[in-house]
C-alpha cells in the first residue's frame, strides 16, 4: 500500500524534493572543529539507507539519539504545563493542511527520523533518528516524501514497478562532511511548513537561507551571518524557543552567553539586547520606555514575507472540489503565475511584504483540539487563541500573522475534524474530492467519532512574528503608530499620543477657540466702523 | 495730552517675548504631537517640544525669582474694583472713543480684567500644563514614584485642556494688544517699556 502512496508522493512533492538540496557545496572544514569526520574509518564507503549512517554516528555519539528522543522534534508531542493541553504536531490542528493523522508518511518527511509512516513506528529505536537532516553541510541530503522521511543511498524505483526513479543521495559523502546545523538544515523543514516555501510562517522562507542585511540584520550572510542556532542556542539537542509556550515578555534581561539560565529562553531579543537596548540618539530613552509595552519585534519587523517569497494568508477549503467539463481537477493562477485555486485545496490568498496585525500577547496560547466543542455561531473559531491584555503585567504588543481560512467540521458533534488529504487511495481528498470519505478516514485514524455530517467554519490561527528583523534604520517610524489610523488602531488599554484624543475636549476646545477668534474679529470690525463714523 | 510712563522693565520684556516665542512654538509642535497636522513630523516634534518645554521651565525659574524679589507678583493680585467698568468699556465705551477706565501706573500695570486673566493663566493653566507635561516627560518613572495609578489618557487629556486654554488666551491677548490708548501703544510698551497714556 505504501508503494502506491509513494507514487503520489513523488508527484505532489516533486518541487519540494529539490529545495533541500540544489546547491552541493565543497564546504571547507571549519577551523574550529577538532574532528575531521572525513578521516573516520566508520564513515568510509557508502551507505544504503539513513539508519545505517545513524548506526555509524552512534558508535561515537553514544548519547545523541537518546537526547533527540526526548525532544519534540522527535516525539511531535508537547504537554503545555500551563494548561495541560497535549500539543505537538501529532495533536494540534491548523488551518493550512489541517492535520497529520492519515497523512503521516508525507508529513513525516520533516520528522527528524526514518520510517514514521503510521502508528507502528518505533519511537524507541536509536537508529531511526535522522542525524543528517540537521547536520548535513553539503546541501545534497534529501528525505523522500511518502516514505516516512527515509533517505536512500542508491537510486530507487518508488513505488517499485512505477518506473519513477528517486535519485539516491551519496550518504557516505554527506556523513563524512557533517557539521553544525545551519540556516539551510533548519530551513529544509522550517522554511517549507504548510507544504511549500514560506506558506506557513511568513517570517521564515527560503529567502532566509542567504539573507541580506535588509531582510535580516542578524542572519545577513555577508554580515553577522547568524545561524538559527546562534539565537536558538541548543544543548543536548533540545532546541529552545517554543511556539507552544513562547516568551512574550522577557523580564530577565540579557544573559551571559553560554551560561544556563534557569527557565530562561536564549532566543528572545532581550536575552542579548536587554530591555534598554537603545543607547544613542535623541530618542534612546523614550524608545527604551517602549519596551514596557511593545515587543521589540513590533517596530523592528516592519513587514513579514519581505524576501520575495509569498506567504499564505487565507486558505478557504470550502470552495474546493470544483472540476472542469471533463471531470478533471483544475488550477487557477493569478497574473504572476502564483496558484490561487486548486480543486483539491480551494482558494488561497498569498502575499509578500505583509504588514503584521498587532495584539496584546502574554505567551499563553490555547489550542482548539479535536476533543474541544466549537460554537459555529461565534466565528471565526480560534485554531489557537492567544491571551494577553494591557493590564496583566505579562503582555506586550506583538506583531502577528493571522492565518484565516475555512475548514471542515463535524456539524453534529461540533468539533473540528482531521480530513485525510494526501494519498493515492479511495479516501484521500486530494485524489477523490470527497469530504465525507476523507473526514471519516482521517477521524478513524485519529481515534475520534465522525457523525457523517460536515460543514465549513471560518477559523483563524495566530503566528507571532519574530524573524526577519530589519536593520535599525528600517524599523518603524514613530508615525506608523503615533498618528490617526496608525498601526495600533484598535489596540485597547493604551492611550497613544498622536493617535488618540478625547472627542469632547477637542470639539469644545476648537469651538471655543474659533468663537474667541470670531469674537475678537467682530469686536475689531465694530471698532473700525465706529471710528470711521466719528 | 500724551505722556509716557516706563511700565515694563528690561527683564520683564525679555521674559515676555521669549515666553511668547516658546509658547507659540510649543503650540505649533503640539499640532504634530496631537495628530492634528504634520509640520515637523512626530519624531522631530517630540524633541522640539521637549526642548522648548525645558527652556520654558528654565525661564520660569528666573521669572519667579524676579517676581518674588521685586514684589512684582502683586501685579496679579485680583481686585474687583473697576471690573464692571472694564467690561462696560470693552462692550461699548471702546466703540465710542470713551476714555479707558483704567489708568496705567508702574504699580498697576494691568487693568482689573487683565489681572484676572493673567492670574487664571498663572495659577491654573500654567500649573495644569507643566504638571501634566512633567508627568508625560517622566511617564515611565511614575510607577517608581507611586503614581502608577495615573492613567496616561487622563494626563494627556489634562495637557490638551491646558493647551486649548492657552490657545484661547493667546487669541484674545493678541487682539487686546490693539485696545490701548492707541492701536499700537501696548505693543510699543512691550517692546520699548514705555507706554503712552492719555
Cα gap A148→A91, rounded to integer Å: 18
Cα gap B36→B183, rounded to integer Å: 34
Task: Tell me: do A379 and A458 sit in the same domain.
Answer: yes
Task: Tell me: do A215 and A240 sit in the same domain.
Answer: yes
- The whole-angstrom distance between B158's CA and the closest CA on chain A is 9
Residues 6+ apart with CB under 8 A from B127: none
Q: Do A523 and B90 lie within an 8 Å CB cutoff?
A: yes
Task: Tell me: do A117 and A245 sit in the same domain.
Answer: no
Q: Please check whether residue A88 lies inside any domain of the structure.
A: no
- The whole-angstrom distance between A302's CA and the closest CA on chain B is 17
- pLDDT at site A1: 43
| Nearest CA among A327, A317, A322, A324 for reference residue A347 | A317
Work out how many domains chain A is built from and give that number: 3
Q: Please check whether residue A8 lies inside any domain of the structure.
A: yes
Q: Which residue, of A178, A207, A225, is where some domain finishes?
A: A178
Alpha carbon A366 to its chain's center: 17
- pLDDT at site B198: 66
- pLDDT at site A9: 46
Assign A55 to helix, strand or coil.
helix
Task: Tell me: do A351 and A483 sit in the same domain.
Answer: yes
The Cα-based distances of B163 to A72, B38, B124 in angstroms read 58, 18, 12
Task: Tell me: do A408 and A273 sit in the same domain.
Answer: yes
Q: In this structure, what C-alpha cell is assigned to residue A240?
A: 529552545
| Nearest CA among A507, A527, A525, A505 for reference residue A517 | A525
pTM of the full structure: 0.89
Task: Tell me: do A165 and A129 sit in the same domain.
Answer: yes
Q: Please check whether residue A437 lies inside any domain of the structure.
A: yes
ipTM, two decimals, is 0.93
Task: Tell me: do A439 and A317 sit in the same domain.
Answer: yes
Strand A311-316 to strand A396-410: parallel, antiparallel, or no bridges (unpaired)? parallel
Domains and CATH numbers, chain B: 3-197 (1.20.950.20)
Q: Please check whether residue A101 lies inside any domain of the structure.
A: no
Q: Please check whether residue A97 lies inside any domain of the structure.
A: no
3-state secondary structure string across A463-516: EECCCCCCCHHHCCCHHHCCCCCCCCCCCCCCCCECCECCHHHHHHHHHHHHHH
pLDDT (mean) for B57-75: 93
Assign A458 to helix, strand or coil.
strand
Identify the closest residue of chain A to B171 by CA–CA distance.
Answer: A517
| Nearest CA among A363, A317, A352, A340 for reference residue A462 | A363
Task: Tell me: do A461 and A474 sit in the same domain.
Answer: yes
Of B42, B160, B171, the CB nearest to A520: B171
Q: Does A292 touch chain B (CB under 8 A)?
A: yes
B195 vs A55: which has the higher pLDDT: A55
pLDDT category, B96, cuts 50, 70, 90?
confident
A454 has which bridge partners? A410
Task: Tell me: do A436 and A460 sit in the same domain.
Answer: yes
Is-contact A77 A86, C-beta < 8 A?
yes
- pLDDT at site A257: 66
Task: Tell me: do A314 and A233 sit in the same domain.
Answer: yes
Q: Do B171 and A517 lie within an 8 Å CB cutoff?
A: yes
In the block, cell 519574530 appears at A466
Sort out which chain A residues have CB atoms less than 8 A from B159's CB and list them.
none
Cα gap A380→A405, rounded to integer Å: 9
Of B32, B90, B95, the CB nearest to A530: B95
Cα gap A132→A50, rounded to integer Å: 8
Q: Do A289 and B139 lie within an 8 Å CB cutoff?
A: yes
Identify the closest residue of chain B to A514 by CA–CA distance.
Answer: B168
The Cα-based distances of B191 to B12, B17, B59 in angstroms read 10, 9, 18
Is-contact A456 A321, C-beta < 8 A?
no
Q: Which mean pLDDT values do the consecutive 10-residue runs of chain A (534 residues) have?
A: 48 44 54 90 93 97 97 95 93 93 86 93 96 96 92 88 89 96 96 94 97 97 95 91 90 73 83 92 91 96 97 97 94 90 96 98 96 95 96 95 97 96 88 94 93 97 97 95 94 93 96 97 93 80
Cα gap A26→A177, rounded to integer Å: 9
Task: Tell me: do A149 and A37 sit in the same domain.
Answer: yes
Structural domain span for residue A533? 501-534
Of A283, A484, A523, the CB nearest to B35: A484
Task: Tell me: do A495 and A527 sit in the same domain.
Answer: no
Q: In this structure, what C-alpha cell is assigned to residue B182?
A: 492707541
Q: Please check whether residue A190 lies inside any domain of the structure.
A: no
Amino acid at each position: 500500500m505504501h508503494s502506491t502512496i509513494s507514487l503520489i508522493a513523488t508527484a505532489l512533492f516533486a518541487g519540494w524534493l529539490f529545495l533541500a538540496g540544489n546547491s552541493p557545496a565543497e564546504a571547507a572544514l571549519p577551523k574550529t572543529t577538532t574532528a575531521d569526520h572525513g578521516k573516520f574509518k566508520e564513515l568510509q564507503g557508502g551507505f544504503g539507507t539513513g539508519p545505517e549512517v545513524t548506526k555509524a554516528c552512534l558508535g561515537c555519539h553514544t548519547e545523541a539519539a537518546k537526547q533527540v528522543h526526548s525532544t519534540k522534534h522527535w516525539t511531535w508531542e508537547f504537554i503545555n504545563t500551563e494548561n495541560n493541553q497535549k500539543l505537538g504536531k501529532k495533536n494540534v490542528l491548523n488551518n493550512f493542511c489541517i492535520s497529520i493523522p492519515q497523512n503521516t508518511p508525507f508529513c513525516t518527511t520533516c520528522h527528524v527520523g526514518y520510517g514514521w509512516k503510521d502508528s507502528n513506528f518505533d519511537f524507541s529505536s536509536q537508529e531511526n533518528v535522522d542525524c543528517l537532516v540537521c547536520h548535513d553541510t553539503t546541501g545534497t541530503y534529501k528525505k523522500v516524501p511518502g516514505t516516512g522521511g527515509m533517505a536512500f543511498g542508491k537510486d530507487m524505483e518508488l513505488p517499485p514497478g512505477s518506473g519513477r526513479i528517486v535519485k539516491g543521495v551519496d550518504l557516505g559523502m554527506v556523513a563524512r562532511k557533517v557539521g553544525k546545523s545551519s540556516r539551510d538544515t533548519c530551513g529544509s523543514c522550517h522554511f517549507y511548513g504548510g507544504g511549500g516555501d514560506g506558506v506557513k510562517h511568513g517570517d521564515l522562507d527560503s529567502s532566509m537561507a542567504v539573507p541580506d542585511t535588509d531582510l535580516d540584520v542578524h542572519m545577513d550572510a555577508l554580515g553577522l551571518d547568524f545561524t538559527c542556532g546562534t539565537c536558538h542556542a541548543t544543548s543536548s539537542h533540545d532546541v529552545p524557543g517554543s511556539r507552544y509556550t513562547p516568551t512574550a515578555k522577557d523580564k530577565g534581561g540579557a544573559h551571559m552567553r553560554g551560561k544556563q539560565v534557569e527557565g530562561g529562553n536564549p532566543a528572545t531579543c532581550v536575552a542579548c539586547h536587554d530591555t534598554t537596548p537603545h543607547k544613542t540618539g535623541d530618542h534612546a530613552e523614550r524608545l527604551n520606555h517602549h519596551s514596557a509595552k511593545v515587543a521589540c519585534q513590533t517596530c523592528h519587523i516592519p513587514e513579514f514575507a519581505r524576501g520575495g517569497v509569498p506567504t499564505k494568508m487565507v486558505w478557504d477549503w470550502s470552495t474546493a472540489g470544483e472540476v472542469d467539463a471533463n471531470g478533471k481537477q483544475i488550477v487557477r493562477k493569478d497574473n504572476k503565475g502564483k496558484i490561487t485555486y486548486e480543486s483539491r485545496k480551494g482558494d488561497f490568498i498569498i502575499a509578500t511584504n505583509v504588514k503584521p496585525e498587532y495584539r496584546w500577547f502574554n505567551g499563553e496560547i490555547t489550542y482548539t483540539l479535536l476533543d474541544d466543542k466549537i460554537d459555529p455561531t461565534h466565528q471565526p473559531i480560534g485554531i489557537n487563541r492567544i491571551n494577553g491584555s494591557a493590564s496583566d503585567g505579562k503582555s506586550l504588543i506583538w506583531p502577528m500573522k493571522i492565518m484565516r481560512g475555512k475548514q471542515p467540521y463535524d456539524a453534529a458533534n461540533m468539533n473540528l475534524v482531521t480530513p485525510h488529504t494526501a494519498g493515492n487511495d479511495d479516501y484521500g481528498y486530494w485524489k477523490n474530492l470527497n469530504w465525507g470519505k476523507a473526514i471519516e478516514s482521517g477521524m478513524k485514524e485519529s481515534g475520534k467519532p465522525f457523525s457523517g455530517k460536515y460543514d465549513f467554519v471560518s477559523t483563524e490561527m495566530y503566528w507571532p512574528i519574530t524573524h526577519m528583523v530589519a536593520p535599525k534604520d528600517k524599523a518603524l517610524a514613530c508615525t506608523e503608530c503615533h498618528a490617526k489610523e496608525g498601526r495600533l488602531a484598535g489596540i485597547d488599554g493604551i492611550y497613544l499620543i498622536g493617535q488618540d484624543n478625547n472627542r469632547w475636549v477637542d470639539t469644545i476646545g476648537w469651538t471655543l477657540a474659533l468663537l474667541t477668534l470670531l469674537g475678537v474679529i467682530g469686536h475689531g470690525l465694530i471698532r473700525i466702523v465706529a471710528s470711521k463714523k466719528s | 495730552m500724551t505722556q509716557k510712563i516706563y511700565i515694563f522693565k528690561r527683564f520683564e520684556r525679555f521674559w515676555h517675548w521669549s515666553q511668547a516665542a516658546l509658547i507659540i512654538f510649543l503650540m505649533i509642535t503640539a499640532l504634530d504631537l496631537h495628530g492634528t497636522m504634520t509640520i515637523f513630523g512626530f519624531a522631530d516634534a517630540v524633541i522640539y517640544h521637549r526642548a522648548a518645554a525645558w527652556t520654558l521651565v528654565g525661564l520660569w525659574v528666573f521669572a519667579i525669582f524676579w517676581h518674588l524679589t521685586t514684589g512684582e507678583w502683586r501685579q496679579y493680585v485680583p481686585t474687583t474694583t473697576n471690573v464692571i467698568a472694564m467690561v462696560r468699556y470693552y462692550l461699548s465705551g471702546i466703540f465710542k472713543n470713551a476714555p479707558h477706565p483704567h489708568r496705567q501706573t508702574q504699580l498697576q500695570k494691568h487693568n482689573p480684567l487683565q489681572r484676572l486673566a493673567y492670574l487664571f493663566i498663572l495659577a491654573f493653566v500654567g500649573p495644569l500644563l507643566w504638571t501634566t507635561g512633567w508627568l508625560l516627560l517622566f511617564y515611565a518613572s511614575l510607577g517608581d514614584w507611586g503614581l502608577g495609578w495615573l492613567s496616561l489618557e487622563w494626563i494627556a487629556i489634562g495637557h490638551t485642556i491646558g493647551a486649548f486654554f492657552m490657545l484661547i488666551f493667546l487669541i484674545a491677548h493678541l487682539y487686546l494688544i490693539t485696545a490701548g490708548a492707541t492701536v499700537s501703544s501696548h505693543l510699543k510698551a512691550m517692546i520699548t517699556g514705555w507706554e503712552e497714556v492719555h
